[in-house]
Amino acid sequence: MRRLAILGSTGSVGTSTLEVVAAHPDSFQIAALAARDNLDLLEVQVRRHAPRLVSVGSETGARELRRRLGRTPTEVAWGTPGLLQAAGDAGADLVVSAIVGAAGLLPTMRAVAAGKDVALANKESLVVAGDLVTAEARARGVRILPVDSEHSAIFQCLAESGAGQVRRIILTASGGPFRTRPRATFASITPEEALKHPNWSMGKKVTIDSATLMNKGLEVIEAHWLFGVPVDQVDVIIHPQSIIHSLVEYVDGSLLAQLGVPDMRVPIQYALTYPERRPNAVPRLALETLTGLTFEAVDREKFPCLDLAYEAALAGGSAPAVLNAANEVAVERFLNRRIGFDEIPTLIRKALDAHPRRAVGTVEEILEVDREVRRRLEDY
């Protein structure tokens, strides 16, 4: 029986994780749940899974949830201390890190520092602090198990082979909803259009990141830290069908790929049951129904966010934290109709130029960079 803490339990990955848990009731117990505002869903989840602890975003939210839960014995915590308690002190063996954005960094670090294995969906924590998180994991003998479907694919293709035998990692990208749309029309893209991902159903932020291809840029940085492969040995290729979830090319020219239906329950389950595999009810991939698997190069002029991510990754230091914070601000502004879709990379470019790279050695220094970028972008 594995005891889980699920951070971001009300989100897309969080709810899929709870579906996996419900499908294997004898394998998992819920020690803690955490989210921010969605009290209605949290209440349902707490009643169903009876965790020791639940954490919400605010004190008011905590009071309201406590009132709603009546005599249910679950402890209700709130804010950053509540998140950290859920990550490190609720008796979990494995922490599912599925909060969106840089807000996931502190609880992910807390879980690792407390010696918990982490099933990592929150790619932003590796983007902004990959060296610190992976160094702490090594020091504590903690496993970081990828939840992102691409990284789960690579993890499976790497198996026992060390990174030394890898020529390159190839991340596949669907290309998002605007793969074939002319760039000249990007200024008129609405949030509604950008939120329609062709293959995956996900939270809003990662869906917009998929439309700009920033998601793939963040994944390049995530792959670099997870697998110890240099950034310039992580490539991206467009594969519109999202059937091949990613590939590893070895020094002898062999390419290993992992295939499956695009359903997050598969990589989530693998992270939860690793190193075992368990049967499940996810629809099978019927190869005979596939009409073709196609590939094309990324149009890097049309999707400049990908190169911005490579640039920040190669610069290192504070640059990935600047990239990430600026992207979070830009995505939120686009969703609130304050900037156009085409202005997302412009805003990120401005932030990278306005914040020259500097060395960062602690989580607090990284969070300070994050705050600085958000403050300065208020003037744009």
Ligand X SMILES: NC(=O)c1ccc[n+]([C@@H]2O[C@H](COP(=O)([O-])OP(=O)(O)OC[C@H]3O[C@@H](n4cnc5c(N)ncnc54)[C@H](OP(=O)(O)O)[C@@H]3O)[C@@H](O)[C@H]2O)c1
* CA-atom Rg of the chain in angstroms: 20
The only residue of 98, 126, 305, 339 in contact with ligand X, by rule CB under 6 A: 98
- Name residue 46's amino acid: V
Kindly indicate which of the ranges 99-107, 126-134, 246-254, 344-352 contains the residues binding ligand X, using the contact rule CB under 6 A. 99-107
Nearest distance from residue 165's CB to ligand X, in Å? Answer: 27
Rounded to 10 degrees, what is the CA torsion of 287, 292, 296, 299?
-100
The only residue of 18, 86, 87, 99 in contact with ligand X, by rule CB under 6 A: 99
Q: Say how many residues make up the chain.
A: 380
Query: 318 vs 324, which CB is nearer to ligand X?
Result: 324
Peptide bond into 191 cis (omega under 30): no
Print the binding letters for residues 245-264 with ligand X: x by CB under 6 A, - otherwise.
-------------------x
The only residue of 19, 23, 27, 38 in contact with ligand X, by rule CB under 6 A: 38
Query: 146 vs 359, which CB is nearer to ligand X?
Result: 146
Which residues make Cβ contacts (< 8 Å) with residue 44, sequence separation at least 6? none
Nearest distance from residue 26's CB to ligand X, in Å? Answer: 26
Query: 162 vs 226, which CB is nearer to ligand X?
Result: 226
Q: How far is CA 144 from CA 72, 78, 147, 222, in A?
A: 33, 25, 9, 11
Handedness of CA 372, 377, 378, 380 (dihedral sign): positive
In angstroms, the CA 290 to CA 272 distance is: 29
Q: Which helix (H) or strand (E) holds 376?
A: helix 363-377
Beta-bridge partners for 196 = none
Print the binding letters for residues 264-293 with ligand X: x by CB under 6 A, - otherwise.
x-----------------------------
Print the binding letters for residues 185-214 with ligand X: x by CB under 6 A, - otherwise.
---------------x-xxxxx--------
Nearest distance from residue 319's CB to ligand X, in Å? Answer: 19
Is there a contact between 121 and 94 (Cβ–Cβ < 8 Å)? no
The only residue of 3, 4, 5, 13 in contact with ligand X, by rule CB under 6 A: 13
Kindly indicate which of the ranges 10-18, 176-184, 254-262, 293-301 contains the residues binding ligand X, using the contact rule CB under 6 A. 10-18
Q: CA 149: distance to chain centroid?
A: 10
Question: What is the number of H-type helices and E-type strands within the chain?
Answer: 15, 11
Burial of 129 (0-12, 13-18, 19+ CB in 10 A): buried
Q: Site residues for ligand X, window 114-153 (CB under 6 A)?
A: 121-124, 148
Q: Based on the shown chain and the rule CB under 6 A, indicate whether residue 111 belongs to the binding site for ligand X.
A: no
The only residue of 95, 103, 113, 127 in contact with ligand X, by rule CB under 6 A: 103
Is there a contact between 321 and 370 (Cβ–Cβ < 8 Å)? yes
Q: How many CA atoms lie within 13 A of 345 on its CB side?
A: 21
Q: Residue with CB nearest ligand X?
A: 11
Nearest alpha carbon to residue 201 among 157, 149, 237: 149
The only residue of 20, 29, 31, 36 in contact with ligand X, by rule CB under 6 A: 36
Query: 122 vs 156, which CB is nearer to ligand X?
Result: 122
Residues near ligand X (CB under 6 A): 8-14, 34-38, 57, 83, 98-100, 103, 121-124, 148, 200, 202-206, 264
